[in-house]
Amino acid sequence: MPLFQHWSHCDRLLLKNMIASLRLRERFRTAVIAGLMLVSLLMMGLLSHQTYIAVSSQQQLVEGVLRDYSSLAADEFVRRSAAVANYGFYPMLSYLAGISSDTPLPDRESFKKIVFRKKEGLGTEATELAHSFFRFTPGGALEISDSRPPEAVTRRLLSDLQSIEKDEPTKFVGTYHTKLYGEHFNFIYISFDDDLNQRPIVGIWIDNEMALEWLEYFVTSRPLLPRTLTQDKLENESIFIKLLSGGDIIYIQGTYNPDSQMVNGTFDDSNAIYGDMSLSLAIDPDVGASLIIGGLPESRLPFIYGDLVAVFWGLWFVAALLMMIAFILLYRERSVAYMRSDFVSRVSHELRTPLAQIMMFAQTLMLGRVRTKEDRQRSLEVIDKEAQRLSHLVDNILQFAKAERGQTDINIVRQPLCPLIREIAEQFRPMMKEGQLVITSEVGDETEVQLDVDAFKQMFMNLLDNAVKFSPAGENVDISVSQSSDRINVAIEDRGPGVPAKEQRRIWEPYYRASETTRSAVGGTGIGLSVVNELARLQAAYVSMTERKGGGSRFVIGFDIAGGSTG
């Protein structure tokens, strides 16, 4: 016995040194690979930074050109809108200003007999721009010819005209805009000194629809930007224009692009069609490259072609993906290596325990130290039980090794399931210290399933051994056989601590042991459930684990019923 203990201690020290050396090599290799990956990540970061700078500089150049061209186009739009006033409103206002204050305002029909300047291409007389005309003399009433706007609008206009006399006595041209029940009302007027120094005001109630037709003509008759500047590569269709009045869109042209550089145009009373107008304008960025003389500059990264932004993100994504995969593989490899070394340690312990029991009771018998027949029988039973446990452990290790090499042989036969379960349970009972195996069945003994007898024995013994190890001392292990549809289910239930939900899928992995198992003093190699899962797969069987009602674990093995079998 002292010699056995001496060699066991030496073996234990040797095993610990081997495991420590293996772990040291794994850590060193991990550090080297991680360092290389970090260097690669740094180089990729520098490349990405240079790519970003190159792309940003080109993008800023294009955006700057588009912004400048958009500002020029907006200024041109504002200038052309003034043509509506120059060719339409101002001639009529000038004529109205020449009418004596004591002479009634002419109506629109009378205006048609008067010749105004007419822009070539416009088929509408200037008088069509007006609903009616008005005149206001300080201290007098508001005179309106032809149709009158709604009374509420008239009162607002009068209030605005009266404020001009007080607040802006030098103002010459003005506009007034108001909105009533969703309809826009726009007026343009001039203030001048007459012979009596009364500073009368004359104006026009604008026909909005006709004014916008004039505006569209002046805007679309030719490109907003000179052809010599854009080299005939930018038409008005590539320019988005949005004209607002009091927050409502009154004119829109082109299609809005979210990537466009939007600029705003401003109007004064001399170039506005009517009051309260605002302009937003943008050039389609897709035509930006064609507006730069000589085209875009060469990329600062000559070996990268195509869309630099797409290439940049593509390279970054590929690099990040490869590094992530490498880290995952490295982590898994290290984890497996650690679990293998831990597996060797646990297997040595699991082998030593039954061997020590066998040797101790065998030497007790050999030295004649038993006093009674009962002690002798008990020693033989312990030797038999530990030998069976040792045999079961060796079978698991051999089966696991075969599965790792893909050399597991399966012989599927038709087999009555219930008698086989009772037979295995009887073989397992001597290995239990306390507690009982409680078997219940809803299936007849004649019901057959397709399985490999030896493989099922190993699966069933592993699950029974697992249930016994984790059940509290003296607790029973329940075995139930039931039928659902065309499947026979064999359930093994224990009353142990169970498995956390987040770990239930991982317990079937090789070497893996649940955290509750790791923290407890329960032994095991970590390959039993992996063997069960592999043998179930080879037999086309179903295996699962759920929580038992009331606490513990419930493992289920399911087999399809053999054809022609009765239940």
- Distant-in-sequence, close-in-space partners of 277: CB < 8 Å, separation ≥ 6: 243, 244, 245, 267
Judge whether 236 lies within some domain. no
Helices within 100-207 (DSSP H only): 108-111, 151-167
Q: Tens digit of pLDDT for each residue in 481-508? A: 998 878 889 999 988 888 888 888 888 8
List, in sequence order, every residue forming a beta bridge with 437; answer none if it has no partner: 477
Judge whether 317 lies within some domain. no
Judge whether 330 lies within some domain. no
Nearest to 402 by CA among 535, 505, 557: 535
Find the domain containing 103 and state its range.
82-215
From 215, 239, 261, the end of a domain falls on: 215
Residues of the chain with pLDDT under 70: 1-27, 29-30, 32-37, 39-41, 44, 48, 51-52, 54-55, 58, 113-124, 165-171, 193-198, 228, 230-233, 269-275, 288-316, 339-343, 345, 514-525, 563-567
H or E element that contains 413: strand 413-416
| Cα 440 to chain centroid, rounded | 50
What's the confidence (pLDDT) of residue 144?
92
> What are the φ/ψ torsions at residue 387 (nearest 5 degrees)?
-65, -40
From 152, 181, 215, the end of a domain falls on: 215
**Rounded Cα gap, residues 403 and 355, in angstroms:** 26
**Rounded Cα gap, residues 227 and 380, in angstroms:** 109
What's the confidence (pLDDT) of residue 133?
92
Single-letter residue type at 97? A
**Rounded Cα gap, residues 280 and 254, in angstroms:** 12
Q: Are 116 and 125 in contact (CB under 8 A)?
A: yes
Judge whether 132 lies within some domain. yes
Q: What CATH number has the domain bearing residue 161?
A: 3.30.450
**Rounded Cα gap, residues 151 and 36, in angstroms:** 83
Judge whether 156 lies within some domain. yes
Tokens 């078997």 identify what position?
439
Tokens for 59, please give them. Answer: 């993008």
DSSP one-letter code for 306: S
Judge whether 33 lies within some domain. no
Signed CA dihedral, 516, 522, 525, 528: sign only: negative
Judge whether 458 lies within some domain. yes
Judge whether 274 lies within some domain. no
Beta strands in 118-238 (DSSP E): 130-136, 142-144, 173-180, 183-191, 201-206
From 215, 232, 247, the end of a domain falls on: 215
| Cα 415 to chain centroid, rounded | 51
- Helices (H), strands (E): how many in the chain? 13, 16
What's the confidence (pLDDT) of residue 173?
80
What global pTM score does this model have? 0.44
Tokens for 360, please give them. Answer: 């101790």
Based on the structure, what is the number of domains in the chain?
A: 2
Nearest to 478 by CA among 404, 555, 372: 555
Neighbours of 493 (CB within 10 A): 22
Q: Tens digit of pLDDT for each residue in 240-263? A: 989 888 778 888 888 888 877 888
What's the confidence (pLDDT) of residue 523?
62
Single-letter residue type at 502? K
Q: Are 90 and 270 in contact (CB under 8 A)?
A: no
**Rounded Cα gap, residues 339 and 524, in angstroms:** 13
What's the confidence (pLDDT) of residue 365?
84
**Rounded Cα gap, residues 236 and 254, in angstroms:** 8
Q: Are 267 and 277 in contact (CB under 8 A)?
A: yes
Q: Are 30 and 330 in contact (CB under 8 A)?
A: yes
